[in-house]
Structure 1
Amino acid sequence: MAGHTDNAVVINAPFELVWDMTNDVPGWPKLFSEYASTEVLSEKDGAVLFRLTMHPDPQGRVWSWVSERVPDLADRVVRARRIETGAFKYMNLFWEYTEVDGGVRMRWVQDFELRAGAHTDDEGMTAHLNRATREQQARIKEIVEAAAAERVPS
């Protein structure tokens, strides 16, 4: 059985600001509370290859992996996948940005499967990712909306 998550948040900010801030991989440690650092390894043909390193988990483990993101501004989507899969057999991500009344609906879909012997199973990881995604989306909403408010002329 594979895991699947699908979460969204509406950010009350202009599309360009939401797109730019959420696709600025080097800036992710400011947006995501769980990321200690990001390192862009290469950029080629619109794809960004980068290393993410998380803050230590409650057991003191530091998780790090390489991922690839391919933003498509014309279609307002991003497709991403883990290159170094670690405990996952695969991890594919899809981000979709839709302008709605009052802002931008940012939707994240994650499809994955864990390897046998991983620290949890697909069901446990689905629950974890749903919880963490909602927390991170709420944080990103707050940060991007604050940035949008700073840009509004007085």
Structure 2
Amino acid sequence: MTHTTTHTVMIGAPAKVVYDLVADVTTWPYIFGPTVQAEVFERDGSTERLRLHAFANGDVRTWTSRRVLDPANLHISFEQERSAAPVKTMGGEWRIVPIADSATRVDLLHHFTAAQPEAVDVILNAVNNNSDAELAALKRAAEYGDDYDKLVLSFSDSITIHASRKDVYEFLYRSDLWPQRLPHVARLDLTEAVTGVQSMEMDTRSPDGSIHTTHSVRVCTPYDGIVYKQTHTPPIMAAHVGRWTFRDIGDGVEAGIEATSHHTVVIRPEVVPEVLGADGTIERARELIRHALGTNSLTTLRHAKEFAENG
């Protein structure tokens, strides 16, 4: 039996702005709360194939989808090619409907079948929760308008390591050992119920001695990279996602890798004065976040270099 749902939101922004946010999957991890990772691995004209990791009822699930973009009609249809249990099949459509120049209705439709009848309510709960969260997040992002770009901070830091991908990856993957290996990590609890999907609670020590606790989920692909998303962020951040990547460089005795830490943060503008004081600005928040995250990432990469090169 096929089950259907429809979720709707009104957004105070032009329809084209809303459509573009939905069409660009690279933004989903930091716009949509449930999405951990989204990548296009095949594109043919208006058709794309996606690989996604996202929360469903508190657990991270992975699946592949095929979607068709129709920018002329502001529609995007999608069908899962390989669903994650207990879903048997799932598809749907984003319908972006212009109401006025800066008013848009978004209808998010789903249809699905369950692998077992008793799983229908579980799937419905996940679809309802995720759809509501995604539409609310889409509304916030679209209604920021041109200011949204100022709130999104993306940057990366790289270091050259004359060692194998395997050794560097293992250092980053074994984050349970970071309290013994990294000076800024005071405590770290790690669970990996599903191979390659880690949940991490970490206490980070700041230069002033204060401790900040973060919660993250990580998707680990052996020797290729690690993608992560903070599920509980500091008050000044609406979202924080990142990844560790490797690029082979050099030959012979000069062979090695370029290891890179990537970050994307979305700043909460309404919290900036509370955190930084009445004179706090978005630009100052960007500078402080860039410095804090970049410092910790480079510290981690330098220790990974020492570990991989010298054992």
1:29-48 matches, within 5 Å, as: 29-48=29-48
What is the CA–CA distance in structure 1 between the aligned matches of 2:141 and 2:93, rounded to whole Å? Answer: 21
Structure 2 unaligned blocks of 5 or more: 149-311
Q: Percent identity?
A: 23
1:4-15 matches, within 5 Å, as: 4-15=4-15
Distance apart, 1:10 and its partner CA = 1.2
Distance apart, 1:149 and its partner CA = 5.2
**Which structure's relative contact order is higher, taking Cα pairs within 8 Å and 6+ residues apart?**
1
- Structure with higher helix content: 2
- Bigger radius of gyration, 1 or 2? 2
Tell me if the contact between 2:56 and 2:126 (Cα under 8 Å) persists in the aligned partners: no
Tell me if the contact between 1:92 and 1:111 (Cα under 8 Å) persists in the aligned partners: yes
- May I ask how many residue pairs the two structures share in their alignment? 146
- Structure with higher strand content: 2
Which consecutive aligned stretches of 4+ in structure 1 deviate over 6 angstroms post-superposition?
none
Tell me if the contact between 2:89 and 2:112 (Cα under 8 Å) persists in the aligned partners: yes
1:110 corresponds in structure 2 to 110
Instruction: Tell me whether 1:150 sits opposite 2:139 in the alignment.
Output: no
Give 3-state SS (helix, strand or coil) of 2:13's partner. coil
Distance apart, 1:45 and its partner CA = 2.2
Tell me if the contact between 2:2 and 2:112 (Cα under 8 Å) persists in the aligned partners: yes
Amino acid at match of 1:64: T
- With the length of structure 2 as denominator, give the TM-score of the two structures: 0.44
Deviations 1:39-93 (Å, cap 9, x if unpaired)? 21011021111111125864xx431111111011122211101011222221111
Give 3-state SS (helix, strand or coil) of 1:63's partner. strand
Change (3 A) 1:114 1:56: closer
- CA-based RMSD: 2.0
Distance apart, 1:135 and its partner CA = 2.1
Tell me if the contact between 2:98 and 2:104 (Cα under 8 Å) persists in the aligned partners: yes
